[in-house]
Amino acid sequence: MSDSTDQNRQIDLEIEELRAFTRPTSRVTSTALEDRLYKIFPVLDHGFVRVIDYMGDDTSIVQAARVSYGKGTKSVRNDEGLIRYLMRHRHSTPFEMCEIKFHIKLPIFVARQWIRHRTANVNEYSARYSMLDREFYIPAPEHLAAQSDINNQGRGDVLRDEEAAEVLDMLKADAVRSYDRYETLLNERQNGRVINEDKQGLARELARMTLPLSAYTQWYWKVDLHNLNHFLSLRMDPHAQYEIRVFAEVMFDIVRDWVPLTAKAFEDYRVNSFDLSGPMLAAVRRMVRGETVDADNSGLSGREWRELQAALGLSD
């Protein structure tokens, strides 16, 4: 049995113990989110998301906005209307009254992209103290694509079968070779067994340099709802990198259970909306007046014109 399998079994036992132990509380709770607490939701090949703790729900946002007491101050319909008003007009402070803490296992290269969101509290697994697992992210063939010709940070066409197979072989071989060297430098394996009794191992804080970015790390990530929404609006976007987008999508499913009124407002005013620049708005007004507006006379750059066309459903 592999060390990673032992670790996963230990996590499962920990989850069962946590879910079996309940505490009475007077604080606001979300029944749907309570059912999700500590459960692992798989992402990619070895990653996961699970909720460790949270504070507040939709009524907490309403209470903060009205500086009031009790579970909601008016009808649910009025509470929903207020949440939608706050979301529509970008009043962020009431949403900051809710917080959530995730335990996330993710590839290192995704973590380095994720950490750019500097509005959360993060505590990452220490590779100075412990060994990382022998687990690597290997993309499915349908996610292996060439560099985009029009987007310097995006993907183009999916690789053909032969090309994809060659790339996968290289990724797997490099990951295994790097981890083998990691163990050799440390002179130990995950179970604590020394490889060579006559050899002194390199310090873990140095040996980790040889690990590939496809190796998995873990962290606790605690964030308030306003900043979580901002993270989700960027990382669920179709242009976001697939490997971080799938994490965001799983997290938003959790948000829907936690704060359903806020999640619906977020979808309507962030996910499924489009901001118009001044020149874009001027072009739309001309269209409404019946003028013929095209790329040449719109006053917009080529990219802005294409974005407006796509938002209005006028793309060819």
Dist CA 308 CA 316 (whole Å): 12
Catalytic residues: 235
Dist CA 71 CA 38 (whole Å): 25
Closest by CA position to 144, among listed 108, 106, 172: 172
Q: Which residues contact 186 (CB under 8 A, 6 or more apart)?
A: 131, 201, 202, 204, 207
By the 8 A CB rule, do 49 and 247 touch? yes
What backbone torsions phi and psi does residue 294 show, to the nearest 5 degrees?
A: -130, -175
Dist CA 153 CA 240 (whole Å): 9
CB pairs under 8 A, 24+ apart, for 6-12? 7/133, 11/40, 12/40
Closest by CA position to 247, among listed 47, 99, 32: 47
CB atoms within 10 A of CB 246: 20
CA 248 to chain centre: 3
CB atoms within 10 A of CB 173: 10
- DSSP H/E element including 41: strand 41-43
CB atoms within 10 A of CB 76: 12
